[in-house]
Each structure stands twice: as structure tokens, then as C-alpha cells.
Structure 1
Amino acid sequence: MDQIVADIFVATRTPYPVIFARFCGAILLGALIGIEREKRQRPAGLRTHILVSLASSIFAVVAVESVHMVSLSGPEVRIDPIRVVEAVTAGVAFLAAGMIVFSRGEIKGLTTGAGMWLAGAVGLSIGFGFWWIAAFATGASLIVLFILGRLEVALQWKVPEPSGENSTAKRPEDSVAAGSRER
């Protein structure tokens, strides 16, 4: 029984309160990115971004801790935390690619996919202990998503998105196309 308890409460290089604080930071910063996607009613919103960020953070913490594990310190074992970064990047890119859809001549979901990729990077940053990098990246993403999104509409580079489920706002070109089909 002592061996089981010792295995559950394995000693870590980083204290558990710091590890759990990193996970909470990944949840919070991932949520900040996901809120914008949720507000715009995108398929990958709040929960998805939180999970991507948290999972990435866990991978980073496990990578750091595995380097210091006694059972993995033999001469035949080589641990490279950079491989974890590559694996997380590839995994999140796979998820993000699933969000991108080509429909009616338009690409949709690209910003959501990029947000998921960013949430993965934020989670990795937090997991490796780079709080300030993660905080800056999250702040920068919020500026890009909220402020630049509104600027694109103000400059008429993009049509405003419908604000609610019952909204019937359409693009001007959709109205023209619909009118020409009705004739």
C-alpha cells in the first residue's frame, strides 16, 4: 500500500501548488481566448479553447518533470522536451484544421483554428512556467480578435456578423444573388 501511495504522490521538481497554479492559469487564459469565439457563436468556443490550453499545459509540465525523473535518468534514455512542443503543435493543428471549412466559395473557421493553435501555445507557455509570455500572447490575441475585428467592420473590410441566433442579417452580395435567382 505504501508503494501505491508513493506512486500517486510522486516527488516533483516543481512543487504541486505551482503545477496546479499553472493549470489554473492555462484554464483562465484559454478561457479568455475562447470567450471571443463563443460570443461569435463559433463551433470551437470557450470549452474547446480551455481544454486545448489545459492539455498543452499538462504536456509541458509532464515534459519538464520527466526530464528530472530518476527512473528515466539512465544513459540509454534521452528525453527531449522540444518533442513535446512539436507533438502538441501537430495535435492542435490537426484539431484546428478540422474547424476550417470551405463552403460556397468562402473559407470559414480559419480564425477559430488559429485561436485553438494559440490556446495550445499559451498552455505550453504556462506549463513550462513562462507566465509573462502566455499573458502577453493572450492579451495580444484579445486585441486581434476584439479590436481588430471591430476595425475590419468599421473600415468595411468585412460585413458585421449576426449578433444573435434569430438574426437575419445577410451579406449584401447574398441578397443580390438571392434576388437574381428569384427572377
Structure 2
Amino acid sequence: MSTPAAAAEAAPSGGGKKKLIIIIAAVLLLVLIGGGAALMLMKKKQHAEDEDGGEAPAAVETSHAKPKPGTPPTFVPLEPFTVNLADKEVDRFAQVGVTLEVADPHMADQLKAYMPAIRSNVLMVLSHKTSAELLTREGKEKLAREIQRESVRPMGIELDEEEDEEAAATTKKKKKKKKAVESPVTQVLFSTFIVQ
């Protein structure tokens, strides 16, 4: 009698293992189907975004969330620049210290990753300036706008160039309105500015 009792106990446990295997297989199948559906939806969404906006660089796709009020900005200081100026009559040079203000620390890390290209762009802008341009307040403000534009260019962000009011008025009539691109660099600050 002991053998039929052992056989009776073995039968329910074997059936329980089969049920467990079937349940695990069903759950695994549901997870695979759900993952495949999610992947298909993500690809479809990405394809729709590519059609709407054309080619978008990866750096532009990152969100530039506005900081919460009371949150201090992040500053990215650049090493001082020393350049020969474009004066023709006499050799003049400028030593300029620049600090970029950004809204969030994540963007500061991205700027640091592109620092060699950013420094090169700023040097090119500075080397094409004359001492007369840099000595006026308007010249410094224009330089700050140009540095702001050139500091985000390596990341694939193109800001509109500032033009004279008359030229801007005529080009606005000719061109369609573009969506304004918000710069992750909120302000360009000068820490030193020496022209000799």
C-alpha cells in the first residue's frame, strides 16, 4: 500500500510543476509581446518626428528645461583668450576672459565635452575684431552675442545672427517665419577685457 500512496502524492506535484511552467511561459510570452509593441511604437514615433522636423541633431533633442525660480544658474568659465586683433595700421592684441551662463548643470557638462570646438570658434570671432570695435559698449555687446552663437554651434544648435534693424526688416519679409531656437547659453559674461 505504500507504493500507491507515494504514486498518489507524486501525481499532484507533477501537475503543479506543469502548471508553474505554463504560467511562467505565458508571462514570458506577454512580456515579449509587450516589449515588441513598445519598440514598434517608439520607432513609429521617431519616424514621425524625423518627417516633421527633418534631421535633428542629438544635442538639440535634449530638453532645455527652464530652471525653477530661486535655483542658481551654472557658470562655465573658459580659459582667458589672448589674440592678435585685425587692426591693419598697428599690431594690437586683446586678452579676454569669458564665462558662459547656462540654466542647468547637465548643459554645462555638455558644453565641457565640446570645449575645444567652442574655444576655436570664439578665437575665430575675436581674431576678426578690431580694437575700435571692442572698445565701445556696443562692440562688447555684439561680441557677447557672437560668442553665445558660436558657443552652441558645435552642439548642432544654430542661432540666428543679429543684423541691423533695416536688414532684419527686409529679410523678415522675404523669409518664412522660422521657429525661434532657444539657446542653452543664457548669457555671456566677461571676466577680463584688456585691449592693447
Q: TM-score normalised to the size of structure 1? A: 0.24
Higher helix share goes to which structure?
Answer: 1
Larger radius of gyration, structure 1 or 2? 2
